[in-house]
Amino acid sequence: MGINFPLILVLGTLFTGLVWLLDVLFLRPRRQAAALVLEARNEGEEVVAKLMKEPIIVEYSISFFPVLAIVLVLRSFLFEPFQIPTGSMIPTLQVGDFILVNKYAYGVRLPVIGTKIIDIDAPKNGEVMVFIPPHEDEYFIKRVVGIPGDKVRYENKTLYINDEEQPLEFVSQFPPSKPHYLVYKEELGGIEHLIHRNPFRDSRPLEWEIPKGKYFMMGDNRDQSSDSRYWGLVSEENIVGKAVAVWLHKEPGLKLPGISSNRWIQ
């Protein structure tokens, strides 16, 4: 498990906010009362100013609280950045892509605990979604290929949803002779996107029925993706948000990030 940044952000915001509130309600009035006594004794402005100076922890809390609060609101309820760590969504998303995740597309949730407080919309087939899988406490990103009530079948590397074959159109193969992978244009829920798959046939068809509150996820790099075919369905409460755009790309190594690959995610 990686660093729980949302929890750290919430705790940091809470701590700095409480310190600021404590200063406003108790510490500052005490300093002001003591300053009035010193002024009555003509102790001098420097002594009074030193007494009125905020403790270092209060000073830092007042400085950091607004920043932390704004970041918390933006990250928890509006948009969150996420970097693509693996090639499971190639060719749609490349390793090193920085994407923007819409946190309110599927409902407003409380940070850390993930409880939905405002229902807005539900994931639809074909959309690219960020979530926490059942087997690992990390962010994953895949494409929705099965929603509650669907029957999903994967046979000969073709998707069937509720016994309806999803349109596929051959695009190309690489390399042209003895290809390592084939490129197809696939349509799910009216969303067209490219997928990669190897040229070999599957050994047997697989089928799943999607219950209420669950979602079936697959990567666009179909034969190089750890997804619902292997670790199961994604629970509704583990949804993070909808991936909407690539805003930056960073190649491995010391290369600088660039914006030439910016695009909307389909």
Q: Which residues carry out catalysis? A: 88, 142
| 3-state SS class at 61 | helix
| 3-state SS class at 207 | strand
Beta bridge partners of 153: 160, 207
Contact predicate 218/142, CB 8 Å: yes
**Which stretch of DSSP H or E encloses residue 228?**
helix 228-231
DSSP letter for 224, please.
Answer: G
Cis peptide before 199 (omega within 30 of 0): no
The span from the CA of 25 to the CA of 199, in Å, is 70
Beta bridge partners of 100: 81, 245
| 3-state SS class at 197 | strand
- Six token digits for residue 218: 């697959």
